[in-house]
Every structure is written in C-alpha cells, then in structure tokens.
Structure 1
Amino acid sequence: MKFAALLALTLSSSAFASDYDLVIRNGRLLDGAGNPWVAGDLAIKNGRIAAIGRVQGLGKREIEAAGRYVAPGFIDMMDQSGDVLPENGDAVNKLQMGVTTVISGESGTPVKAAELPKYFRDLERKGIAVNFGTYYNATDAREHVMGDGAGAPSQVQLQAMRDEIDVAMKAGVFGITTALIYPPATFQTTDELVELAKVAGRCGGFYATHMRDESADLLRAIDEAVAIGERGGVKVEIFHLKAAYAPQWGRLMPEAVQRIAQARARGIDIAADMYPYTAAGTGLSVTVPSWVFADGRDKGMERLRDPAVRERIKREVASGSLPGWSNLVEASGGWGRVLLGNPQSSEYERFRGKSMVEIGAALGKDPADTAWDIVLAALPKRATGLYFMMDERDVETALRQSWTSIGTDAPAVIHLGSRDEPTVPHPRVYGTFPRVLAEYVKRRGVLSLEDAVRKMTSWPASRMGLVDRGVLREGLRADLVIFDMARIDDTPSYEKHAVAPQGIDYVLVNGKVTLENGAYTGAKAGRVLRHACN
C-alpha cells in the first residue's frame, strides 16, 4: 500500500472490545506549547484527550497519522461569525483552515445584551461545528442608548451604557470591543471608553480594539488603547495589528512593537492578533471622512449625494487624515491601490478586483466619485474594497513577536465557495492559518513550526482563559488538527479567494471528527464558550 493511502486509512475496531472512542496512531505530536514534536499516539474518550504516548488500548475508530502533525485545534482570535452561525453553523471554511474555536464580536453581536443568554442557547440548540466565544461591542451599547450620531453622552446615558455592558458581561461575553475608524464609534472619546471598560474590568474582561488609527497616527492609537486598559483596569487586545501607512513602511511597525513591549514591561496586559496579508479589507464608505456621518448614517449617505459635499471631501482625502478620521486612501498610496471587493450591485459587478483608478477611467469618472457612487449603489448593503496598505517586512516583524496571535477578521461563510457572500472577498476568509504554516514557516522560515503552532493554540487559549483546550494534555478537550506540512498550502488568492487550502486532513472538535480528508462530516460538536463573571 502506498504511503499516501496508508495515511488516509481509517481502521474500524468495532469487532473488538475498545478502550477509547478514537485513537490517532503514529503522529508527530506538537503539544502547542512551543516544544518540538514527539512521535506517538493520542487517544480520545468522552470528548477529552485520554492518553498520549504509546497507546496500547484500542479505539472504536483509529486514524493512521504517520508522517503528519497532530496539534491542538487552531483558535481564531478575530472572527466575524456572530450573525452567520445562527443561520448556518457549519463554519466549513474555518474547519478547512484547522480552526476549532472562534472569538467574535469586533463588529458586535446580533442581539442586545439582555438577549445574549437566549442567543447562546439557540446556537447550542441548533448546533455549531466550532467552539464560539464573543465580545460585546461598546458602540452597540452607545447606539442603543443615544443613536448613531455624534455627541457626548449625558451621565444618565453613560450609566445606561454601563448597565448594558454589565448585563452582557454577566451573560458570558469576554469583554468589550471598539472599531474606532467607523462612525459612530469614531465619536466615542477616550474618557467615555474608559468608563465602559471599567465595567468589563470588574469581570476580568478585555478591551479589544480596532484602533482609532492604524496608519499615520498608529503610535498615538496604541497609546490610547494602553491608557484605556490602564485606567479601565482591563486586559487589552489590539485587533489585526498592522502598520498600514505606505510612507512609513519598514519604520512604523518597529516603533509600534516597541511601544507595546514597553507597555507590557510596565505591567499592562496587552497583546495583539494579526492576519498574514498585505491588504486590508473593509467597506468603501470608510473613504468618507467621519464628519459626514455626524448626524447618523442615513443623513451621511444623503450628504454623499451632494456635489458640493463631494468637492469638499475630495480635497480632504487629497490633503491627508483629519482629526477623528483615518484616511485609508492616503495610507494605501492612492486610489490606484484601493480595489473593488464586493460591489453588492449588478451595475458594478464587472469591475470586481479593479482599482478605483481603473474603474474611473473606464467610466470617465474621478476615482473618488467612482468609489462613492459604488457605495450609494449598494445601499442598503455595504460595498467593500481591498486596501493594499501593508508591507511584507512589517508583517514579518509583527509575526515574530511572542505576544502576537492569529485572527482572520473574517466570518464563517454561509455558502461555501461562493464569491457573493456579504463579507470582503479576501483570501483571509479561507487561507489565514494555512498561510502562516505554508508561507512564514515552510517557504520563508520567519517562524519555526513549533512557535507558529503555539501562536495559534496555547497562546490564544491562555490569553482568553480557555484552560481546558489549546495544548495536547490528558484531560483537556480534544480539539485537534492533523495536517501535512509537505502539502500545506494557502491556495486562496486575491484573484480567487473562495477556494479551500491544502494539507489540513482532519479536524476534531470536542473529540468528534468534524473534517475528514478535507471534507466536512456534518458533526456539530462545538460549544458556546462563556467568560465567567463572578
């Protein structure tokens, strides 16, 4: 029998007395803690790791893993699946990346704080294929109390926001989030966020943030996040750490890393996650200065139709960032490096993957008008773009830091392989975790295999307080991935993002085989992970 066939062979031992539910034989066991692999077997019983080493007993089922690595399941530290999983709990694109646990909530939860217990129960009742934990968005609390416009909350309104977050924390969220480049989050001040963070801090929670600026004012944004953590008494997680500013590629990221390291040396519990790509992906409306939305989103879109407003904001985009607004056009190096992702309208469908300069030339329009016309044509949906703002040197610098973990900034998909999902059509949706292994371990040698796996397993588990998973250890939850480093590859690309990566053979979630030979089995053994608030 050929080696490849032997690897895929699954043996049935049902004719004999079995000691375990499943035994994985002859794997290269990577414990997730950063140690070198060791040869051995791993047995599972009742959803937990029951034995590691040379397992003498039989399993009801056995998987031959010779030549493959067996590691803890990967943990996605910046997931966007909170509103997807209630509709489709399969999360196949996550499983195909080796992901067994997702931490969601940057963009909020689909329900209000008081409805979270039911939301969690419904997810468990319907079934989910991965473990799911979430934060609660501080801007959602603000919007529920005072709408989506600018302005400072009164003391009564601020207390109502605190109360909302307190309810969310007691329901089991891991902390609060912000996404401070998007209105109305843009209008929240540092002092307001400190007061809200204090509520999460009472429960040992997080302040997790898409910072106010990831470009020219990156260092100031880090300082704000540190201040909120220090004054609010919370742990700080920086979402998708990047130095997204073409004029300072190669210089800004080392300074950002030093700023975070200095905060950690002072005792601030701060860390960051990241995705291993040079393009960001978000809505095209972020190219509009925040002041346009000061009276709410609907009024802002109305203003965007006004030619006089357009002329003003064109000048502002050309001049650089404004107070309270991060200019992603400047950060990318111009409209020629802003590409159309999902137009969400048939009128512009043929221009997917083209830059605003290219589309404008084809239509005889200014690139700024092009972008904003696409935004308006998509309403009420959200047109998206790809912003090529980062440099590989900076990606590598961030990856090398011991305190960075990995997050996709992407949801589970509803329809596998479709490019018409409402998310940004970015390769991170299907390829993030295999890319770390294929590109930064195998091809470039930026990380050792052991450290790359640590960043995706034990470190995020420790960070989030998930004490029952994240390492290979007897008694812990059997969230596992079996992968082949010889075949591992991040096949998704910017041109064709909705394709499966290669080399992830098996994924087990709480002891259930959920991905087999790269295909979803239909198992839904995932659990809702709740943060304890005592």
Structure 2
Amino acid sequence: MKRILIRNGTIYDGLGGQPYQADLLVQDDRIVQIAPGITEQADQVIDATGKVVTPGFVDIHRHHDAKPLNDPHFGEVELAQGITTAVAGNCGISMTPRPEKDADAQAYYSFEEAVMGPIGLDGPHTYPQYLEALGKTPLPMNVSAMIGTGTVKICVKGFSDTPYTQQELDAARALIEEAMAAGAPGVSLGIMYLPECYSSTDEFAYILEPVGRYHRVITTHIRGEGDSMVQSVREVIEIARRVGCALEISHFKSCGMKNWGKDIHTAIADIEAARAQGMDVTVDFYPYEGGSTALTTMLPPVFVAGNMTRALEKLGTPEGVEEFRRTSSELYDDWDNFCITLGWDRIIISGVVRPENEKFLGMRVTDAAEKFGFEDATALAAYLMHSEGGKTAIINMSMSQDDIDTVARLPWSNIISDAIYAKTDTPHPRMFGAFPKVLREYVAERGIYTLQEAIRRMTSQPAARMELVGRGSLQKGNYADILVFDPAKFTDHATFTNPAQKATGLDWCLVNGQIAIDHDQRTGVGAGMVLTV
C-alpha cells in the first residue's frame, strides 16, 4: 500500500464550504484521513504550506472522444490545467455507434474531424466496445463518455433530411438503451447540427425514453443559440419533460449582437419556471466570448438537403457557390444563420488539414478573402469546405461578456471547456486554459466568484451532475484526485492570438492517488479510470 501525506495545506473541499487548515492522507487510490497534524507514516510527504489543496477539476464537456485511443500526448494540456476527470460524447457527437459500412463510417469521421480530430476505421463499433477499448488503454486521467444522438442518427439513417421511420426510431432507441445498460452517464443532443436539425421534438422524446427509465441526464446543444435561442431552450425543456429525465443545457449562451442583454434573461426565466415545477434543469458555460466549431455549421440545412457529401461537392462549382451565397443570405425560422446574425467578420479560421490552406489560419474570413483575392467571404468559406472535405474548424466571436457573467452567477451553472480537438496549431484557447482562467479572471481579477465557489463549480457540482460517485470533493473514502497549488501562481496563458500555451503553476496533481503532475511536469503515470454509472 502506497501512502502520500499532504501536509499544512489549506483545504478547499469542493463543496463550497469555508477553507480550513489540515493534512490529508492518501492510501492507494483513496483519501483515508483529513485532519490537522496527521502523524501516520507515508511513502511520500508533500509540503503544501502556503498552498491550497482542492479536488481535481471535472470537465463534463470536452470532445476528446478519440484521443485516448490514438494520441500519446492526450492528457498533457488537460492535466496542466488541473483536469483529472473529463466527459466526452458531447453535442450529439460520439465515437460510437459507428456505421457498419466503412464508407459510411469514413464519411461520418470526416464530417466530425473538425471536432474530434482524425479517426481511423479500426476502432470500436459499439458503445460497449468503446468502453472496452478505453479500459485496455493506460489513461492519464479519468474518462467518462456519453453517446450522442447525432451519431446514433447517422448510424441509423445517414445524413438524410427525411423523418425517422418507425423501424429507424426503434433502432435508434435500442442503441441508446445499449449505452444506458453499459453505464453511460447520459446522452447528448446536438440539435443545431446536421442531421439532427431535421429531427422533431416527438422523435427525440421517443428515442430518449431509456434515459428517463435509467434516471440519467440529457445534455444538449440546443437548436439555435442566436435568434431562436429562447424557443430552442423551451424545446429541450419539453423534451426532458416528456422523457422524465434531468437536463443540462450545454454552453448556455445568447449569440448575435442584437440578442445580447435580452434573450438570456428570458431563457433563464423559462428554466427557473421549469425548476420551480420540479424539473432538474441546469446549464454550463465556458469563460470566453468566442465559441469554436466546424465551418460546416454555417451551411444552411436547405443547402445540404440531407446529403453532406453532395453539398461539399457543390461548393466546388460556381453554381454551388452562388446557391450557398443565396441560401446563406436568408433568415430561417428553424435554423440560426450566423452568416447574418454574426457576420463573416466575426468568424476566425482556426483549423485546416491541407498545408496550402495554413495561410488562412488565425484570420477572419472577411480579411482572408480580401487578402487572397476571393470574390467575397462566402466564396472563401465555400472553397475551404470543398477543398478540406468539411474539416475546417472556426472560432466565432459570438457572445457578450455581460451575458456570460449573468450565466456564471446562476447558482446552477457549471464551468466547462468545450475543447475541440481539430488538428491545428491555432485551437480555441479554452483547450489549454479554461479552468485556471476562471481562477485568474473570475476570482482574482473580477470577483465574480470566491475561490471556494469557483472550485465547487469545477468539482463537486459537475461530478454530481454526471453521477460520478466519489469524485469532485475532498472527503474520507473518496478517490484521491487532488490538486495542490498557489492561487497567485496557477494561471492560464492561452489567448485568441496565441492559443497553444499550456497553463503553469500547478505544483502537484494526483489522479487516483498517483502523482500525475509534479511542478508542471507530467510524470507519465497512467492512473486514470473509465467511469460509468
């Protein structure tokens, strides 16, 4: 049995209580004692004098689905910012279930490469197989994963814009049942994205029936975060009401300048009303004014018409570019058109796969179009989506800091990163710094939170949301996921102009009782676990 004694630290238990001075004793993967002046013998003693001792951070919204299986560097940027547990399978996007035909699977993986990064065809096909593959992999941190309804729909019926048949509804429900039985903490929806944008409230309520029966949660990227944000929030509340399950609204925000300062308050009132009626509804947010996604989210569904491959081909023709220009110049009742509500001047190219397109990285679409001689921003966007097979990643500067602060102050909001894993040197800075950014800006600089409240929203509260038992708080018997740091020194460095900068100032990070970070240096231990419920 290995023992680690952390002495003389200030304990922030993750539950929001007042900090206190105490020692903490770890034996194997568990916390066995928290008290002043522990005299037990230990194999290693960590002097935490002048430092805080907190639970490891729990990020319930990252898109690292494939990374534990195909990237030896997975864990570096996560552990550096104190993340010891992360949940994948968000926004309706998950590794599995995989379409059976290789051609269909390749089409899906290509479509999602701007979010999950490159994925080969030799991986798992089903959710239980995915868990099995994770279990055979040395993990630097704890990993949990939902199943996404977008992936389920593509597996069942491709990118079709037609309604589910009864047979397809039953097939989709069965896939969700399989994941629930295997221990998935929840199911994610990505209603804004293709092909889920074609699905109805009734269809979602039907296929999600197992979630209510298993008493799990649905997390959802709502149908629209701009002009239709309020009705989109009402839609997912209705879905959760019908399913009889808990609801987490992902990266809750109001996009589009004319909506700032208004719609967020209307949506909050709707959520408060649902909570007053006994519904379990919560939200999460990331601490940045810009979001990150795939450039293909700018394609109107009427342009795609249920066939993404054909849509990308059309963008390589003058006629297709003109159709894209026309359809992206219209407003739609059931789809937020960021081409209009944000404008191409607020869209930054953040990830490309072809070397000849690297010259566009870090540039606003309008500036890049002008500099490199394209007719307009639409023509450049069409070129990128066609030449890259839809794999281009973008950052959209879509939010108001006042709105973000409003969400941050809600007692039921969780902090996330929403990191996407496109292969790029210019990712969204939230990949590298979301959690220490909260400590630096929202606690120390602007006083939005006390330190204990910020830590609660990054530890026990998100862990409870996903039913990750024994995680997120420093209590006897819990797993020893522990951070030790000086709050004045632990900070982020990633910015929109220089994003690929790891956080620094983390003295120690323990994952299941083993030291994963020692003074900003990764030790290389693979002590992470696959977490199910």
- TM-score by length of structure 1 reads 0.91
Q: Does 1:249 align with 2:251?
A: no
Pairwise CA distance, 1:407:
1.4
Distance 1:111 1:87, change over 3 A: same
Q: In 1, distance between residues paired with 2:352 and 2:211?
A: 37
Q: Deviations over 1:485-529 (max 9, x none)?
A: 111322101111111112222111111111110111011111111
Q: Does 1:118 align with 2:129?
A: yes
Please, which of 332, 345, 362 is the counterpart of residue 371 of structure 2? 362
Distance 1:188 1:424, change over 3 A: farther
- Determine if contact 2:13/2:475 at 8 Å carries over to the other structure: yes
Q: What is the 5 A alignment of 1:14-413?
A: 21-54=3-36, 55-88=38-71, 90-106=74-90, 107-112=92-97, 115-319=126-330, 321-332=331-342, 334-365=343-374, 366-379=376-389, 382-411=391-420
Please, which of 487, 490, 493 is the counterpart of residue 491 of structure 1? 493
What residue in structure 1 maps to residue 113 of structure 2?
none
Q: In 2, distance between residues paired with 1:331 and 1:403?
A: 28
User: Partner of 1:339: helix, strand, or coil?
Assistant: strand
What residue in structure 2 maps to residue 16 of structure 1?
none
- Determine if contact 2:426/2:498 at 8 Å carries over to the other structure: no
What residue in structure 2 maps to residue 505 of structure 1?
507
Q: In 2, distance between residues paired with 1:155 and 1:118?
A: 27
Q: Deviations over 1:132-154 (max 9, x none)?
A: 11111112222222221111111
Pairwise CA distance, 1:308:
3.3
Pairwise CA distance, 1:424:
7.0
Pairwise CA distance, 1:79:
1.3
Tell me which amino acid in the other structure corresponds to 1:40: A
205-214 or 498-507: which moved more?
498-507
Pairwise CA distance, 1:423:
9.0
Question: What value does the CA root-mean-square deviation take over the aligned residues?
Answer: 1.8
Q: Deviations over 1:442-477 (max 9, x none)?
A: 111011111100000111112111221211111111
122-131 or 64-73: which moved more?
122-131
- Determine if contact 1:441/1:448 at 8 Å carries over to the other structure: yes
Q: In 1, distance between residues paired with 2:96 and 2:241?
A: 29
- TM-score by length of structure 2 reads 0.91
User: Partner of 2:239: helix, strand, or coil?
Assistant: helix
Distance 1:506 1:177, change over 3 A: same
Consecutive aligned runs of 4 or more in structure 1 exceeding 3 Å deviation? none
User: Partner of 2:162: helix, strand, or coil?
Assistant: coil
What residue in structure 1 maps to residue 460 of structure 2?
458
Tell me which amino acid in the other structure corresponds to 1:453: I
What residue in structure 2 maps to residue 4 of structure 1?
none
Q: Percent identity of the aligned residues?
A: 30
Q: In 2, distance between residues paired with 1:501 and 1:393?
A: 25
Q: In 1, distance between residues paired with 2:233 and 2:94?
A: 25
What residue in structure 2 maps to residue 471 of structure 1?
473
- Determine if contact 1:197/1:234 at 8 Å carries over to the other structure: no
Give unmatched runs, 5+ long, in structure 1. Answer: 1-18, 414-419
What residue in structure 1 maps to residue 528 of structure 2?
526
- Determine if contact 1:281/1:424 at 8 Å carries over to the other structure: no
Q: In 1, distance between residues paired with 2:6 and 2:463?
A: 23
Pairwise CA distance, 1:69:
0.8
What residue in structure 1 maps to residue 440 of structure 2?
438
Tell me which amino acid in the other structure corresponds to 2:66: D
Give unmatched runs, 5+ long, in structure 2. Answer: 99-124
Tell me which amino acid in the other structure corresponds to 2:410: Q
